[in-house]
Amino acid sequence: MRINELVADSVFFGMILSLAAYKVGFEIQKKYKKVFLNPLLISIVIIIGILTTAGIDYETYQQGAKYLSYFLTPVTVCLAVPLYKQLQVLKENVVAVMISIFLGCLAHAGILIAIAALFHMENQLLFSLMPKSITTAIALGVTNELGGIQGVTVIGVMIAGISGAVVGPSILKAVGVKEPIAQGLALGSASHAIGTSKAVELGEIQAAMSSLAIVVTGILTVVIVPWIASFI
């Protein structure tokens, strides 16, 4: 309790802890070069471990960590830079790109509905998971519209992002997807910004297509998911 009170007096504790944990994760991945050693995943484990061990509650941590959210908008805007650099590639493949993202959204919804039917999942839980492959801000809006559970949506978005960044490239390699455009679209449409951070490591074309996929997938999900939900 004493530690929690001391930390509560530090406005930037959460932000410093988050940055330090991510730095540790980044250095670990840089040293061992293993796909499962994702910096974000490692930082989450470190932060949870420290908070649990020291008895620091989430609200106290969030007082400082929330300031990192202010950087999300400019960082998201920066994702347009690789897209601009590869604008010609997009123009040459715009039809294929749009069809791919659209079919990806339909496939995502179809798979979740099939899983829900197989495990007799309640509609509220299903609706909470359907927007999991888009950014948190948009996903929560869709969840509210459908009457889902925000906490479940946040967890779904986090798992979708981290799993895509960790195992996404390996899955693409295993199934023989070598085309940079296809790789970028897959990562961006399935794992939003976190997947895009991995696409940036793969190349400029992958980063550009992944950035585009984030935007288009978000828009299509807002339209498609409520429409599909109306029939359930």
C-alpha to C-alpha distances, 79 to 48, 192, 197, nearest whole angstrom: 29, 12, 9
pLDDT of residue 75: 73
Residue ranges of domains in the chain:
2-75, 80-229
- What are phi and psi for residue 203, nearest 5 degrees? 160, 170
- pLDDT digit string, tens, across residues 152-193: 998 899 899 988 888 888 899 999 999 999 999 999 999 888
95, 111 contact by CB (below 8 A) = no
The average pLDDT across 191-203 equals 86
136, with CB counted inside 10 A (0-12, 13-18, 19+), is buried
**Phi, psi of 38, rounded to the nearest 5 degrees:** -70, 130
Q: What is the pLDDT of residues 32-87, one digit of tens each?
A: 888 778 888 899 899 999 989 888 888 888 888 888 877 876 776 777 777 788 88
Q: Model-level pTM?
A: 0.79
